[in-house]
Structure 1
């Protein structure tokens, strides 16, 4: 009965005209953002965060808009992957392996429809599991003390760093940089730390300034450097029809990919990229010689799209129930909630049930909106790929500057945002992941507080950090999560070699 009453509360919020409008706008914008190569959900959500403050949205409205953008971007990433052989974002990489060959065979429309339906199945399955499992995980979180939370934060850094980069040392360095930035400002005793006498730094670094700089402004610099020319469609899109036989053959693939992707998404830091990869590899192994993976097999399009969209939904569970982001995009959403004085974690379900259940109900509706958009309107989104950077870049820059200034009213924060943009651009060139930096800024203070409370309760006894089965389990998973990618990269071939 609790589930039904909570859903009734959620749908009473989601079905209000204004919330529905925000969901539709978010789905549309997200699909556009996902279709544009290089932007991706993290950048798209970061760019739009300032708008939520300038428009005066409350927590539920802001979260509905940005999670709809998140889901829409996961849908849209497949468009440029199939037509241009350029992934709209990292999770869409696996879609290029069979999507682009299908397009070259004159089946671009079929590939787009199959990928759209697979995205719907993956996202819908993940939302159902989110609805069923999140309350129970939230109850489990009540058993967490400072030692367990410290181990949980460590797990988030270990797994996110392991997946976010091909170099563990670079990922670890990025995490330390983020933690160091989080230390700037006043300590628990009011003592200034790393402010160098600058009064603007006394309150610390606003993580929204860092996020918009590292994602949005850095992307502008990258576009200026590497995308100076207008985009163009690599494969012509003719008639779009619904390939019923291929959809029937791919139905089992979609369900298997959705389950695999959801599990990958729930793991803190694993996210959509791992979900997409595992779904593709598992389906290739499952079909064996029956599949034509790498040469234009529709199931090779359905598997990764179901996997990455299911992982996107699964990543919301640790963010909402434990306050630990499950992916780079949910790290940005976590920053939004913290800015709105909403504390993610087990108390969120009791203190702000309208936020959680309004979000879940909206996501259920948004999935159908996205399916309706991404099949009949696919030609509209394809046209958007032709928007030249000369038009796109000024818009992104304007939104970032106006939004941050309206939020903080400080010219220093604008300079700081540009500085983070330069930092993000340099990190891209050096192949250093930026997501661990954001995670360090977001969780650094909470991780420090958990460690301080643990040491206070234990009178400085370090063994207290390993004093419960939950804490020990989290430490084991953290170590395994950091070491496992090292092993997997030596066993698994690069994605380009999968089609051999």
Structure 2
């Protein structure tokens, strides 16, 4: 009964005309940037973060959430039609989806991808609704040492489940934590690492940091080459799958939904890992594994369902614990902070309309996305004809206006430019910026809970090992780190992500 009451609050919030409009805007933008390779939801959310400052909190989060899970839908369109994934999580879909398009079955592949995504998104949202309150109640019993240990788990897992070098991932985490220390000490009030400027007294501005690290660096990468992205075969004949197609896709959709719902909760997991894992499983259990890579329908249905389920359940740690499971959730926390809302387990009791409104909006948004992705597929293909030299100046303009509008401070633009160049340098060095952003966002909270634990224990470090919860979480972190450092595991891990590169 409580769940029904909570969801009624959520639907009452999201069905307000203004919130429905923001949900549609988010889904539309998400689909568009999912279609356009190289932009992505991260850069888009970073650009729009300052814009949300003038909107109600519910509308802001509903729109940003729509951009995130909408991008998972849009990414499949170009992956299937032109073998160019708009999103990294859609890279697996391109393997068999594009082969289906070359055989004249692009419409069937798009329909199965959209319907599978809708089913997965609906089920994943139900999972969020069912587990949100129990997780929040459990989190309220956590003490400072437990929260510290939980954040350590999140940081370690983000390295273990991401692709790339473990050493580089650890380096990015540590550097992010150090950047998070810039500003005023929360206990002594003294300035730290501000280089003598009061502009850094409140820390490095997260909006300029995020916009530079993702939006500006992506522009710099995109300027390296200009391509004609629409080949002649990107045409749709029919969108109607046969009864045999639907029967063949049912199992992969259900398995992908379950797999994505579980992996999405893990820090660093989310949509990308879910799609890769789903494809691997479908190929292993298939009676015709030789068809994979040559237009196998399960190779489209499973990964697309998994990445959408993973994208939506990744909201669980952010909404219930105030801990981001991936960089996009870190920016969502930034949006809450901009609105003066403290993320964490008290969010459900202090902001019930926001909490349940975001959850209910996912059902509404998934329905909108089915409509946007199938009838309007021709529009998305034409969108690909927009050249970079028109697109990138518009992105840069929005970034500059958005970042400057928050504090009317030119220093923030300097921060954006610096981290734009730094983010571009990271890509050249094959260092992932995701652990850097997670470390930057979690760093101040990690420090606060560590120092609060030390104050309460009188400086005794054993406080982290004496409490069963914190000791178990720290042990889990150590085990995960040791496992991924094993030569065999490290080699297998690199093989899993080779197709993405």
Smaller-chain TM-score range? Answer: over 0.9
Partner Cα distance (1:436, 1:281) in 2: 25
Partner Cα distance (1:39, 1:480) in 2: 36
Greater Cα offset, 423-432 or 82-91: 82-91
Partner Cα distance (1:72, 1:92) in 2: 12
Aligned to 1:441: 440
Shift of 1:43: 1.8
Instruction: Describe the SS at the equivalent of 1:266.
Output: coil
Instruction: Describe the SS at the equivalent of 1:494.
Output: helix
Is the 2:80–2:97 Cα contact (8 Å) retained in structure 1? Answer: yes
Partner Cα distance (1:361, 1:398) in 2: 33
Partner Cα distance (1:302, 1:378) in 2: 18
Shift of 1:433: 0.9
Q: Kindly tell me: are residues 495 and 474 of structure 1, through their superposed partners in 2, closer, same or farther at Cα, counting changes over 3 Å? A: closer
TM-score normalized with structure 2 length:
0.95
Shift of 1:489: 4.2
Does 2:219 align with 1:220? Answer: yes
Does 2:431 align with 1:432? Answer: yes
Instruction: Describe the SS at the equivalent of 1:120.
Output: helix
Shift of 1:479: 2.5
Shift of 1:239: 1.4
Shift of 1:493: 7.2
Task: Kindly report the root-mean-square deviation, in angstroms, between the aligned alpha carbons of the 2 structures.
Answer: 1.7
Partner Cα distance (2:233, 2:43) in 1: 26
Aligned to 1:494: 495
Q: Kindly tell me: are residues 389 and 136 of structure 1, through their superposed partners in 2, closer, same or farther at Cα, counting changes over 3 Å? A: same
Aligned to 2:233: 235
Aligned to 2:174: 176
Partner Cα distance (1:461, 1:234) in 2: 68
Greater Cα offset, 260-269 or 108-117: 108-117
Partner Cα distance (2:385, 2:113) in 1: 21
Instruction: Describe the SS at the equivalent of 2:342.
Output: coil
Greater Cα offset, 288-297 or 162-171: 288-297
Partner Cα distance (2:238, 2:484) in 1: 40
Partner Cα distance (1:497, 1:64) in 2: 34
CA-to-partner distance for each residue in 1:316-347, whole Å, 9 max, x for gaps?
00011111111221111111112212122211
Greater Cα offset, 316-325 or 83-92: 83-92
Unaligned 5+ segments in structure 2 are none
Is the 2:163–2:493 Cα contact (8 Å) retained in structure 1? Answer: no
Aligned to 1:121: 119
Instruction: Describe the SS at the equivalent of 1:369.
Output: helix
CA-to-partner distance for each residue in 1:421-459, whole Å, 9 max, x for gaps?
001101111111111111121111110011101111111
Aligned to 1:17: 17
Q: Kindly tell me: are residues 385 and 193 of structure 1, through their superposed partners in 2, closer, same or farther at Cα, counting changes over 3 Å? A: same
Shift of 1:305: 0.6
Q: Write the mapping of 1:284-299 to structure 2, written as runs, cut at 5 A.
A: 284-289=283-288, 292-299=291-298
Shift of 1:480: 3.5
Is the 2:79–2:93 Cα contact (8 Å) retained in structure 1? Answer: yes
Greater Cα offset, 336-345 or 27-36: 336-345
Instruction: Describe the SS at the equivalent of 2:133.
Output: helix
CA-to-partner distance for each residue in 1:155-192, whole Å, 9 max, x for gaps?
11111122233101111111111111111111131111
CA-to-partner distance for each residue in 1:271-292, whole Å, 9 max, x for gaps?
1111111111122222243672
CA-to-partner distance for each residue in 1:48-83, whole Å, 9 max, x for gaps?
222223xx2111010011101111101111122112
Aligned to 1:451: 450
Instruction: Describe the SS at the equivalent of 1:238.
Output: coil
Aligned to 1:259: 258
Partner Cα distance (2:79, 2:70) in 1: 15
CA-to-partner distance for each residue in 1:453-496, whole Å, 9 max, x for gaps?
11111112111112222212211332243344455442367359
Partner Cα distance (1:185, 1:234) in 2: 54
Is the 1:291–1:297 Cα contact (8 Å) retained in structure 2? Answer: no
Does 2:422 align with 1:423? Answer: yes
CA-to-partner distance for each residue in 1:120-171, whole Å, 9 max, x for gaps?
1221111110011111111110121111111111111111122233101111
Partner Cα distance (1:100, 1:234) in 2: 13
Is the 1:40–1:77 Cα contact (8 Å) retained in structure 2? Answer: no
Partner Cα distance (2:196, 2:480) in 1: 39
Q: Kindly tell me: are residues 75 and 400 of structure 1, through their superposed partners in 2, closer, same or farther at Cα, counting changes over 3 Å? A: same
Greater Cα offset, 176-185 or 106-115: 106-115
Instruction: Describe the SS at the equivalent of 1:283.
Output: helix
Instruction: Describe the SS at the equivalent of 2:462.
Output: helix
Is the 2:270–2:314 Cα contact (8 Å) retained in structure 1? Answer: yes
Partner Cα distance (2:397, 2:494) in 1: 42
Unaligned 5+ segments in structure 1 are none
Q: Write the mapping of 1:138-217 to structure 2, written as runs, cut at 5 A.
A: 138-188=136-186, 189-217=188-216
Instruction: Describe the SS at the equivalent of 2:223.
Output: helix
Q: Kindly tell me: are residues 446 and 388 of structure 1, through their superposed partners in 2, closer, same or farther at Cα, counting changes over 3 Å? A: same
